Structure 1
């Protein structure tokens, strides 16, 4: 014979455990749903990051109006340390100066670009670009007029 008091305790405890199991199952479902939402959010964030990077890479350089003419904006190095923010010809000039590895004259950069270095007027626009890169922190202009790349 089973004691009715023991049987009642067993039934009560089983009911308590069933209730705890139900609560844990609900919590597990909530955790799984939140994990699924986080996985979706990660995929969306990754896709958006890639799209933004692609847009920045293909975006045209910013221009501004100065004296009724459009001019390219060259950002300061501190504002945007990524060279992709520079217009294409400025990136090319920067890569030439870096490739030399030491002080370089405007004439040498012009030769590398295929300019007519014998004609002084052809080098002045290039000199202005080199000075602009130096003023914005991308290059260093030495007292002797040569330029070096900043590290």
Structure 2
């Protein structure tokens, strides 16, 4: 896609540039972990659909970097694809550790990803005894679309 066809937002701020440099060096990467307890097992398709909707509703989840006139800019992505995977045969610590070194494609995005460990039932914090299915949801984020993003 040509530069003129891009949906440019603004030139990247100094802090956004700093976070991109840090990302390329493997630091300033965020990983969130949520324990989800439910009566029925979570369905992969439902979780994936929720992230597709989140990306559509949250501008920060549609942003990536691009070069414009020799400068680093923020722009909206060309596609709606997401980086969502169900992971198996590993523990939560492994997933969290991998996300804290995950490399995002800064020029194409997305600058976030999601991983799901289904039915781990590990140390459920569920307050209701009927919530017998616990899964672990992880969200990895390039720091520039959180603290670094000045335009939301």
TM-score (norm 2): 0.18
Bigger radius of gyration, 1 or 2?
1
Q: Name whichever structure is richer in helix by fraction.
A: 1
Q: Which has the higher contact order (CA 8 A, sep 6+)?
A: 2
